[in-house]
Chains A and B, each alone.
Chain A
Amino acid sequence: MEKEIWVPVTFTHIEYPKGDTLGMILAWFSLLPSFTVISFIPVIVLRRDLTTIFFFMGMFVNEGVNQVLKRVIAEPRPSRTASTVQWSQYGMPSAHSQFAGYFAMFVVLLFYVRISVVTFIIPLAKIWKHVLAAVTVLVSLAICYSRHYLKYHTEKQICAGFLVGLAIGAVWFIILEKFAGPYFPIIASMPICEMLLIKDYSLIPNTLWCEYHCIKTEMRSRAKKYIRPE
């Protein structure tokens, strides 16, 4: 009779050398791609915005390309003798780095090509775009470095993954702007989108301000009619 073997869920299992603080911090960075994908689900359920859904679909396309490339190139991971868990068989290109590249490229393009208007009142508001873009790029690079430090991939695999992610991010953004985007208003007016309350923000320059303003106006007009209970 075989002794049963227990294995962890591979997506959430990141190993680092015991007692290594930097390793522990970088392990959390390695978890960020999984966290980001999961955190997109409440964003999509609450916001139901076609651009966000398109971004989310691109993550799956990115992952699909990564799975295909991994099987086609079939390069093994660097050996880790102290580890007991095998992540997946192949290592080229690195899926986490590819996600980091895709996310960074798409977010940067979104900030600099799509979002053109800033209408905040606080003085430093103009630089929020640059700060957020810089933070995104730095975090992506940290994810890539964590894959190297924790010995999940070789440098070549990480660089290849990052570049492929950047390329897919750029291509997906071009598809959004040139091919899919012009049809978003038509798609948003279809009965299925009206039933699921899926909307399209693409013509609104600053959605944060627009939502705030619309809800404030609505609350004001309702407050006038609302008779407060004594």
Chain B
Amino acid sequence: MICVVCAISFLVLFARLLYVLFQVHYNDTSTPLHRVPPTFPKPVRLLAVAGSGGHTAELLQLLAAATAAPSSKSSCLSFSTRHYIVAKTDSMSQDKIEQFETTRNTETSVVISKIPRAREVGQSYLTSILTTVYSQLFCIPHVLRARPDILLVNGPGTCIPVCVFVFLLRVLGLCRGKIVYVESICRVNTLSLSAKILVFFADHVLVQWPQLASSYRCKYIGRLVS
């Protein structure tokens, strides 16, 4: 009896996983799928992963355009929560984020969480696997609290555990988790390792140099970051 229940639930989960992967790989918005595209609740829950230094600066530049400064009247996405995940050893990113958020509207709630870094710069790939698993466990409670509608990532290795867990929650139907990956402007000729991993399950992989756009599923969006 229990075997039957386990087998059926495993099949259902596997079918759901295939469905989400299909949704992700065929999300060409010019030709919508046969059903109405999913609608977000009006204020959007955002989760952003801030990596070391340069990544955070680029991320904040992207968000500056998406969010409203108190004086501006332009309409943009309204966020109900902006949740940032920074690495534990990275106090500079936290300061930059706090400074950025003071210049924004105070209607959205802002949360900053810290997780252990998944991979130091230049760390060997072998030990990176261990540290990634370690930071994966730590990011679970924060992602469950955030339950994002949009996950915005920029490139640091720390983002991979978060992306994997958000994708898992999306397969289980616990959050809407659209993953948007914006490749850093420094990657001119080759994709970063994070991008190569995320090509498999991110909704959008956006690159800022046209020569990268010929890689599978990368969209060239111009040089967004100055």
Contact = CB atoms under 8 A, between A and B. Distances in A.
Interface in A149-201: 186, 189-193, 195
Contacts of B170: 191
Most buried by B among A190, A191, A195: A191
B147 interface: yes
Nearest to B38: A191
A186 B173 CA distance: 13
Interface band, chain B: under 10
A164 B212 CA distance: 66
B68 interface: no
A64 B170 CA distance: 31
Nearest to A193: B173
Interface band, chain A: under 10
A interface, over-half SS: helix
A192 B13 CA distance: 12
A190 B177 CA distance: 11
B175 interface: yes
Interface string B157-183: 000000000000010111110000000
Contacts of B176: 191
Nearest to B41: A189
Nearest to B174: A190
Contacts of A189: 41
A189 B41 CA distance: 10
Nearest to A187: B174
A191 B39 CA distance: 11
Nearest to A196: B173
Most buried by B among A186, A189, A190: A190
Contacts of A193: 173
B169 to A, nearest CB: 9
Query: Which 6 A/B pairs are nearest by Cβ-Cβ distance?
Result: A192-B173, A191-B173, A190-B174, A191-B176, A190-B173, A192-B174
